[in-house]
Structure 1
Amino acid sequence: MKNTTKASSLLLLAHYTTLIAGHATFQQAWAGSKDYGTTCVRMPPSNSPVTDVSSSSMACNVGGSKGVAGICEVAAGSPFSVEMHAQPSSRSCSEQAIGGNHYGPVLIYMAKVSDATSADGASAEWFKVDEFGYDATGDKTWGTDLLNANCGKRTFTVPSKIPAGDYLVRAEAIALHAAGQVGGAQFYMSCFQVKVTGSSGGQVPAGVKIPGAYSAQDPGIKVDIYGNGFKEYTIPGPAVIR
């Protein structure tokens, strides 16, 4: 009996170790081919997820209301990439960006701010610029699968018609392996401090508040991705701006 109990305990420990090992954070940024590394990221203190959608930490993660000194510069209409790895990061492409069956969507938001080094994020108006949820065809690909296939990177195009100036870029992956119950979804996000240049003007798109944009009952947040009835996925939050 004792051996059986010990074996069960070891299996349970291995299971939870695998899940914890799957935790990760967005840590680095690129503007085109320029690698900014961690210059402009508000690095979370750990790779633990946020699970309360009403928490102020939903904006830029735990401690993310405080800025850092660095700024990443990118021209409007140009590609910008965020990069996720386990923490601490080796940036090794031989390791999964986010493992442990942490399947889910990847979403990118931006917010216009007066000073990217001091804006708190929670008071910003966020507009969505990129997303990938779930492709039910073929290999049944999640956004997090694409991160793993691309050495942790997700690249989007900075909108060409937004005004030049300071912005926060919010990169988010939502792990849904335990999302069949309220509070089970795991949110991994980081905010990057960015200066957009080269714009000819334009208006800032209408945005949403974070926290506020998500509900714990949203179909893309409380969802059993392993259930027999699961066939398609609804990405939470507003639509990507056009």
Structure 2
Amino acid sequence: MKNIFAVLAVLSAQLVAAHYTLPDLIANGTTAADWVYVRETESHYSNGPITDVTSQEFRCYELDMSATPGETSIATVQAGSTIGFKGEHSPNALRCAMIAHVPIVPLLAANSDFYHPGYFSAYMSPASPAANSPEAGTGQTWFKVWEDPPVYENGALVFPLETSDQFTFTIPKSLPSGQYLLRGEQIALHLAETFGGAQFYIGCAQINVVNGGSGTPGPLVSIPGVYTGVGTFSVLSTALVAGVRRRGCTDVTCYLTRPTIKPSVNFRLVQNEPGILLNIYNLPADYAGYVSPGPSIWSG
């Protein structure tokens, strides 16, 4: 009995965390099995996000940046066809339930959506020398082909995909034929009021596009590099804060305090990256709507 309670505690923690991965490619009318065409991520077991937008891991978050690409298959897809990703979360909880014979499959099924409110997008990069090469996508070669931003309605942000477990879109018909990396991304914004608090869930699929056109994708960006991960601040004041050792930055004010020193410096945010640093639960009075981060969409 104690073991069952321990397992249930683990399950509760997994479900509350509600982290997930994007392991399944949706293409040619079918959903592939986990990690067949999508590079297995470092978070394949923990389901945790990546938060450092300057890290080389931010590109595809592979389990092994050298070996994983070559261990992943390449899917052949038609230009102009529908493609996308299916998300999964809490596989650890499911494994624990199976071991303990706890009937929680319906519970997991009911909680199989993305859960975290956020901004979804998809980027593509020509893959040189091939989609299963570690060198693919390492330059200023990425372009955005799709997005699903939150909608500003009645003074609040509404997130269309929050109750879904997948997203699909159309490959531009004029995209030239060839091998590509397809990078799906969600920027989860539930903790984005703190500088560096946005969570990024990433999946990179390896695809071969056939029957393409003669379009010129752009604008082109680098990943990492598409987001700066920095803000600009101005000093407001320096003050002694008795007993307060708060660290981090909000969308209004940043408080920096060394753990062993009581003096703190109060900064005000002058400029931030749109769509990544904001409090979605307490929007500014002059808020006019969500501004998508990154480049504009290339639709062909």
TM range (shorter): 0.7 to 0.9
Q: Which amino acid aligns with 1:49?
A: P
Residue 29 of structure 2 corresponds to 33
Write out the 4+ residue segments of structure 1 that deviate beyond 4 Å after TM superposition: 89-93
* Matches of 1:93 and 1:164, distance apart in 2: 38
* Matches of 2:49 and 2:181, distance apart in 1: 20
Residue 133 of structure 2 corresponds to 118
Deviations, residues 44-87 of structure 1 (Å, cap 9, x unaligned): 13211111111111110143634033111110011112111105
Identify the match of residue 274 of structure 2 among 189, 205, 219.
Answer: 219
Residue 42 of structure 1 corresponds to 39
* Matches of 2:124 and 2:140, distance apart in 1: 9
Q: CA deviation at 1:228?
A: 4.0
Q: CA deviation at 1:220?
A: 1.1
Q: Which amino acid aligns with 2:89?
A: A
* Matches of 1:28 and 1:199, distance apart in 2: 23
| SS of 2:58 mapped into structure 1 | helix
Alignment of 1:71-86 (within 5 A): 71-86=74-89
| SS of 1:17 mapped into structure 2 | helix
**Structure with greater Cα Rg:** 2
Residue 169 of structure 1 corresponds to 182
* Matches of 2:30 and 2:149, distance apart in 1: 27
Residue 60 of structure 1 corresponds to 60
The gaps in structure 1 that reach 5 residues or longer are 1-12
Which range is displaced more, 230-239 or 81-90?
81-90
* Matches of 1:103 and 1:143, distance apart in 2: 9
Alignment of 1:148-163 (within 5 A): 148-149=163-164, 152-163=165-176
Identify the match of residue 136 of structure 1 among 145, 152, 155.
Answer: 152
Q: CA deviation at 1:20?
A: 5.6
Structure 2 residue 200 is matched with structure 1 residue 183: no
* Matches of 2:144 and 2:75, distance apart in 1: 19
Q: Which amino acid aligns with 2:57?
A: S
| SS of 1:41 mapped into structure 2 | coil
Q: Which amino acid aligns with 2:82?
A: P
| SS of 1:29 mapped into structure 2 | strand
Question: Cα 1:199–1:64, aligned 2, differ >3 Å: closer, same or farther?
Answer: farther
* Matches of 1:59 and 1:212, distance apart in 2: 9
* Matches of 1:239 and 1:206, distance apart in 2: 7
Q: CA deviation at 1:94?
A: 3.0
Does the 8 Å contact 1:108/1:129 carry over to 2?
A: yes
| SS of 1:162 mapped into structure 2 | coil
* Matches of 1:45 and 1:136, distance apart in 2: 34
* Matches of 1:32 and 1:21, distance apart in 2: 32
Question: What is the total number of aligned residue pairs between the two structures?
Answer: 223
* Matches of 1:167 and 1:84, distance apart in 2: 21
Q: Which amino acid aligns with 1:239?
A: S
Q: What is the percentage of aligned positions where both structures have the same residue?
A: 33
* Matches of 2:14 and 2:190, distance apart in 1: 13
When normalised by structure 2's length, the TM-score is 0.67
* Matches of 1:175 and 1:215, distance apart in 2: 17
| SS of 2:32 mapped into structure 1 | strand
Residue 8 of structure 1 corresponds to none
When normalised by structure 1's length, the TM-score is 0.82
Q: CA deviation at 1:103?
A: 1.1
Does the 8 Å contact 1:113/1:124 carry over to 2?
A: no
Question: Cα 1:187–1:143, aligned 2, differ >3 Å: closer, same or farther?
Answer: farther
Residue 240 of structure 1 corresponds to 297
Say which structure, 1 or 2, has more relative contact order (CA 8 Å, 6+ apart): 1
